Every structure is written in structure tokens, then in C-alpha cells.
Amino acid sequence: MKLWKLTAALAIALLPSLVSPAHARPRDEVMSSAFRCGVIAEGRKWLDCIYGSAQPIRGALGLPAVTQTQAHLVAAPPAGGQITDQSVRDTVLSAAIQCDAIAADRQWLDCYYASTTAMRRALGLSPDAQSGRGLQSNGTTRPDMGRDGGPEGDRFGLLQRPRTSTGTVSRLATYTFDRYGIFTVTLANGQIWRQVTGDTTYAHWNQAASSYVVTIKRGALGSYNMRVKDGPGLFKVERVS
């Protein structure tokens, strides 16, 4: 998607906040700041500016503040130089805009962080190091610890390397299909999973999301398999947040 299209989409999404700034949602402030980061030429600084833009919603959720460096980049993004990774940035911002379909702000923030994966890979960084749950007050990352106190817990499917968790079982909270029939599901435990593009097994769900119970386990070569209780087929999926 071209940058001007993303800008237009953002303007439409932010229209209510432009009319009444005092009532702007924190996530709208995040996206507005993220687009202002576009003048930064250096990819790593741009990424830090994107992370710094998350401060309004981190503050609203009571999470630790972004680093001073990130906050400074947001307050005064340095302009100048040639941008050589615009297509990667467009991919990130397009993915971040799509997160707006998520109702809960905490899950929205996870989706926002996950949208930066393309840039992290382009920069040779680990895909999940900047997870919202993984940030400490000084902006560094802490070891992944799940809600159950184990080494993985609710981070199952997001870690770069397999650890000890064998899978997850949950009822669906929501499910959606894109125009190609690929689904994205939100589990009752808050996890968001997406069917892998190219998977030839298609879901034909037509009942309320809560009527489906799924089991997700590790597959071969680092993949993940999802099965629906009492349903046919196996789906290849990847964790979004």
C-alpha cells in the first residue's frame, strides 16, 4: 500500500479526534505520532520513534514509560537524509492500522508492536524483542515469563525458539476471514492467531465464535497446528499477539 493511501486511511480513522482533540483515543494519538516519525531517514531510529509513539496508550494502561531516547524521537523527529526502506515502513504502518479492529487496548498494543516485525527483520533484529509485555521501565527487555510463572506461559507461539509449553486450549472470542478465506482468531485468553497464507485447508465456520474450542500445538519445523474440537481438518497458524 502506498504511503499516501496509508495517510488517507489514518486521516479517516482520526477524524473524530481532529474534530474534538480532547476526546482523542490513546491509540489515535499513537498512530498520529507514528506517522510523524516518517521524516526520519535511518531505519533504526524510525523504529525507536514508532515504539516511542506508543506512550499514550502505555500510559493509559499503566505500563512503564517508553525510553527517553524514544520519547525524544517522537517529540522532535530528525528530518533529512534519504529513506531507502519505504516499502518496509508502509508494511508496518498498514499492519498497525489494521489493529484498530481490536476492541481491547491491551491487545491492540500487542498488535501494534507485532506490526513492526517486518522492520525488525529488515534490521536483523529478533522479531519479538520489543513486545509490550517484555518492556521494563528503562525500555530494555526482560525474560519472557507467562501468567503461570513458567518460562513461556501466555507467550506460547511468540517466542523465537521453542521452550517448554506444549500448547494452548481455548474457546474462540472472535473470528474473521479476509477476502482469500484466511482467518484470524482471537482466543478467550486474549491470544491472536492467524492462518498461514498458503494453507490449503479452509475453515467454514458459521456459528457464534464462543461455540468453537480450539487446540493449538507445535508442528514440524517450528510451525503451529490448530484443530477445532469435533471439527475436521488441521490448520497451520502463526501467533500475531
Q: What is the mean pLDDT of each run of 10 residues along the chain (241 residues)?
A: 48 44 74 93 92 92 87 92 91 88 87 88 69 37 33 50 63 90 89 86 90 89 86 87 79
Q: How many residues does the chain have?
A: 241
Q: Which of 38, 209, 217, 191 is nearest to 114 (CA)?
A: 191
User: What are the Cα distances from residue 159, in Å, to 43, 47, 183, 206, 233?
Assistant: 24, 20, 22, 32, 26
Query: What span, in angstroms and rounded, lies between the C-alpha atoms of 4 and 1?
Result: 8
Residue whose entry in the numeric block shows the C-alpha cell 500500500: 1
**How distant is the alpha carbon of residue 100 from its chain centre?**
11
Instruction: Look at residue 39 in the predicted model and tell me its pLDDT.
Output: 93
User: What are the Cα distances from residue 163, in Å, to 8, 222, 233?
Assistant: 42, 11, 26
Q: Which residues pair with 137 in a beta bridge?
A: none
Q: Going by DSSP bridges, is the β-strand pair 183-187/192-195 parallel, antiparallel, or unpaired?
A: antiparallel
Cell reading at 215: 487446540
In SS3 terms, 203-226 reads as CCCCCCHHHCEEEEEECHHHCEEE
Instruction: Look at residue 197 in the predicted model and tell me its pLDDT.
Output: 79
